[in-house]
A and B are shown apart, each in its own frame.
Chain A
Amino acid sequence: AQSVSQHNHHVILSEAASLELGCNYSYGGTVNLFWYVQYPGQHLQLLLKYFSGDPLVKGIKGFEAEFIKSKFSFNLRKPSVQWSDTAEYFCAVKSYNNNDMRFGAGTRLTVKP
């Protein structure tokens, strides 16, 4: 069965620091990959997605993620975080062949001003 692992439960950074959140999945077939963000008190919003093509995906608010097929990874990055990036970030994987989207446990990011 497919699963998604997010390595860090809570990350604390100062403003302007660089961010990388890890995401690994286990599934051998074709997958679609997503990062969602949940700001405090708000619902999940799509940050970026990968379906095919260029493995380096640009998302909103300066975020990007790189799909490395050989490592089954889809890590999220941002060169310089802001206080407003404080939120919970979820990696998600959807098999091309079924409706089951699997989410990681989430990483809580706290950015100190």
Chain B
Amino acid sequence: NAGVMQNPRHLVRRRGQEARLRCSPMKGHSHVYWYRQLPEEGLKFMVYLQKENIIDESGMPKERFSAEFPKEGPSILRIQQVVRGDSAAYFCASSDSQSSYEQYFGPGTRLTVT
């Protein structure tokens, strides 16, 4: 039973480029959460999505960041016009609809902006 998958594991982008991070939840899970981990800091909640809906995006920066979870395919976290401050590890977690208190994490994508 595959766990949460994220790709790529490492992503290098130059300032001004776009970064697209993908997350495939565990089989049977329809809830996805994105977190960002900056160096020496804990994980910070960004956004919570269900299929085709953004439920809570209170942790998302107002500009350049967007997320989607289409009916088919993985959830995508998109960062436009990246800046050096976007360099971080981005983690995705998923849960099922019956016990949404427990989240299962993916391995993360480490984004480096040069």
| A interface with B by C-beta (< 8 Å) | 4, 6, 9, 32, 36, 42-46, 49, 51, 90, 92, 94, 98-106
Contacts and interface: CB of A to CB of B under 8 A. Distances in A.
Contact of B105 (A4, A6, A43, A51): A43
Contacts of B41: 105
Contacts of A51: 101
Contacts, number: 51
Size class of the B contact interface (CB-based, 8 Å)? 20 to 34
Interface in B64-114: 91, 100-108
B48 to A, nearest CB: 4
B53 to A, nearest CB: 12
A42 B9 CA distance: 11
Nearest to A44: B105
Contact of A43 (B33, B45, B100, B106): B106
